[in-house]
Amino acid sequence: MSTEPRVRSRSHSRVRQRGVTMIELILFIMIIGVALAAILAVMNFTTQRSADPVRRKQALMLAEALLEEVELAKFSYCDIYDPRAGDDNPATAVAGPEGCAAATVENWGPEANNARPFDNVNDYAVDPKSFATPFNAADGRLADANGNPLPLSGFTASVKIRPDTLGSAGGANAIGNAGDSAQTDVLRITVTINYDGKSLSLDGFRTRYAPASL
């Protein structure tokens, strides 16, 4: 009888190896896909919100500039070229449109051949009930007071000017305060900027310094 020890087959000593099944691979891809989608959504939301304050700041600066332009215009009963438009002498001035030397009583809307910057506050509005767009250039883009297009995209601007009261000024006894006359003592100016589906509005007031003062 042979006394040699048995030699164990190598194939029996190898450890069995196990790979990834198809189901496990599909589940792994699905989990990674959902996680990536969530991360991309958060990044997109953060990007949009980070740009929003900048756009709002631009809209605010634009509204302030346009409102200041309107408020700096003259506010007289007569057209500024009328000989008595700036007569604020109490002895000779007439507190009202009847004091104009010619048929140049100021009303809503600009006079012929009158361009920005307009010479009177009410020239910026067509009527007191609707918003006007006097800040646009000929091509429809926003422009500065000299008519040069502004390097801004996605912004639109409009203005509404209407009679109002401010303290004791512009009350029921004010000249022309009845109805929607431009010959009132107080005008309320609202500039609205639209951008990115949002809007921003600023209000200001313009009052007469004296019956016939410019």
Could you tell me if residue 15 is inside a domain?
no
Could you tell me if residue 169 is inside a domain?
yes
Average pLDDT over residues 22-44: 83
Residue 180: pLDDT band by 50, 70, 90 thresholds?
Answer: confident
167 vs 211, higher pLDDT: 167
Residue 202: pLDDT band by 50, 70, 90 thresholds?
Answer: very high
Could you tell me if residue 49 is inside a domain?
no
pLDDT at 16: 58
Instruction: Write the pLDDT tens digit of every residue in 95-149.
Output: 677 777 776 788 899 888 888 899 899 999 989 989 999 999 878 889 988 888 8
Could you tell me if residue 66 is inside a domain?
yes
Could you tell me if residue 143 is inside a domain?
yes
pTM of the model: 0.69
Cβ neighbour number for residue 205 with a 10 Å cutoff: 15
Examine the pLDDT at 63 and tell me if it is beyond 70.
yes
| Domain extent at residue 191 | 56-207
Could you tell me if residue 21 is inside a domain?
no
Cβ neighbour number for residue 43 with a 10 Å cutoff: 10
Residue 177: pLDDT band by 50, 70, 90 thresholds?
Answer: very low
For residues 197 and 154, what is the distance between their CA atoms, to the nearest angstrom?
9
The residues near 74 (Cβ < 8 Å, ≥ 6 apart) are 80, 119, 120, 121, 214
Examine the pLDDT at 174 and tell me if it is beyond 70.
no
Could you tell me if residue 76 is inside a domain?
yes
Could you tell me if residue 48 is inside a domain?
no
pLDDT at 176: 43
Would you state the structure tokens that stand for residue 85, as one six-digit string? 């438009």
Domain count, the chain: 1
Instruction: Write the pLDDT tens digit of every residue in 16-32.
Output: 556 668 887 888 888 88
pLDDT at 160: 94
